[in-house]
Amino acid sequence: MRHKKEIVEIGEHTCILHSEENAFFFIIQPVDSNDTEELERQITYIEENSQTPFIHIAIRVNKWNAELTPWPAPPVFGKIPFGDGAHSTLLYIREQLIPALKMRYAMELHKSNIILGGYSLAGLFSLWAGYQQNVPFHGIVSASPSAWYIGWLDYADTHQPQVEHVYLSLGDKEEKTKTKLISTISKDILRQEQIFKEKNVNCKMEWNEGNHFQDNGVRIAKGFVWLMHQ
């Protein structure tokens, strides 16, 4: 691995940094403990499939169901409902994380060299962030996103994306679940792809083998590689 790994505190979040000299792209990814376990494999995949230097910033999310969703919704698993913390998380990225990275690496960060991506609920966050005004992102990666989220597709259809490039992916067995809300995910992500194309966004949709819990590091890494070459 050609990257240097560091764990630092930036604002209220712990961030895991994988950095190399002369980086061009800054890849920002909200992560949970499962994503963290996949990070080394993920970084290695990107290194092996792109020669473009990059810095990857993994933001440890403290409350997964609260910090990544744009509006409240009832719980799907267990008893923890979803919150409306996506706004605060995006504000953190804009006003704390990006300025801290500029200082740390003495580099300019701007819309042409920042990528946002996430897996599962963090994939939904990335989708939503891509619709917000003045977002500082070259593009977004949304791997196995929670596009089934109540009200999401209506929002996506009635708002204009603010990013030029979007990578979507899904496992071919993810719809095989007993949870009725999530069983529509294949149809939902194809609708999301259609919405992006109707709104003139450069969108790539890729299918992977397996269910939701398979190869998430490699799946999202594929998206980052694609975006780094757009």
Distance separating alpha carbons of residues 162 and 137, to the nearest angstrom: 9
Report the first-to-last Cα separation within the chain, whole angstroms.
24
What is the SS3 assignment for 222?
Answer: helix
pLDDT confidence of residue 214: 83
Q: 221: domain range? A: 4-227
What single letter denotes the amino acid at residue 114?
I
The answer to whether 225 and 46 have CB atoms below 8 angstroms apart is: yes
- To which H or E segment does residue 204 belong? strand 202-208
Q: pLDDT tens per residue, the chain (230 residues)?
A: 789 999 999 999 999 999 999 999 999 999 999 999 999 999 999 999 999 999 999 999 999 999 999 999 998 888 889 999 999 999 999 999 999 999 999 888 888 999 999 999 999 999 999 999 999 999 999 999 999 999 999 999 999 999 999 999 999 898 888 767 788 999 999 999 999 999 999 999 999 998 888 889 999 999 999 999 99
Backbone angles phi, psi at 204, to 5 degrees: -115, 130
What is the SS3 assignment for 136?
Answer: coil
Domains: count for the chain: 1
Distance of CA 37 to the CA centre of its chain: 16
> What pairs with residue 114 in β-bridges?
26
pLDDT confidence of residue 183: 86
CB within 8 Å of 37: residues ≥ 6 apart: none
CATH number of the domain that 109 lies in?
3.40.50.1820
CB within 8 Å of 198: residues ≥ 6 apart: none
What is the SS3 assignment for 176?
Answer: coil
Closest CA to 127 of 75, 88, 167, 73: 167
What single letter denotes the amino acid at residue 182?
I
pLDDT confidence of residue 177: 82
The answer to whether 224 and 46 have CB atoms below 8 angstroms apart is: yes
Distance separating alpha carbons of residues 43 and 46, to the nearest angstrom: 5
Which two tokens mark 184? 């529509």
Which two tokens mark 196? 């992006």
